Structure 1
């Protein structure tokens, strides 16, 4: 197992253990020029998921996420490394604080590293489930 996989495995464990309360696990991982993208792309109901760059904007991403959602769990099951990239596959569940609805979804994260630091992150999940959970009845 590589140090990138070891680092990510520990970060995801901390993320799950704290139910998304500890941003430092991710902020310590990112390098200069970091870019975060999400399949939700900042659309209505998932505004927090707009593209972000750098530490301050990543912190805003987490603040927006926690403002609207409560993590139920985040479980990465598989880590696949090739060169400077790591793919993480797993499952997560989040409950929307405004609707009380929960979205449980497979999740895929694409990471790119340079000089031991993450410089790109792109997350994929079931957007239909997430948007449905964010939509009031």
Structure 2
């Protein structure tokens, strides 16, 4: 894996991958979207957690970046619904959250998330995690 400016290069295979971003904070949404698009990913974005299952069925993302603290429904509730759905359960979910308390990562993983990133995110760790799970 090459590195540009200290950030891992993901490579051209990303061009065919779609990543769904579920994030209610406008600045975080823009950051995630800009990073993903800069590295060749297509994005599907929603600030409304209630529409995630329908969007996932429509766009069949390779990965879902899930904010845990959404205003209308918990990201963990959405993750449980995704993992209970036969057509959607194989989509990896990466939790992105401001939770940084001891035990939160284990709790979030136990709810079905494949990975956990705490805010503020490390750009390199974010991109490496996306590459790992969107492969």
Could you say whether these structures have the same fold, taking a TM-score greater than 0.5 normalized by the shorter chain as the test?
A: no
TM-score when normalising by structure 2: 0.24
TM-score when normalising by structure 1: 0.23
**Could you say which structure has the higher strand fraction?**
1
**Could you say which structure has the higher helix fraction?**
2
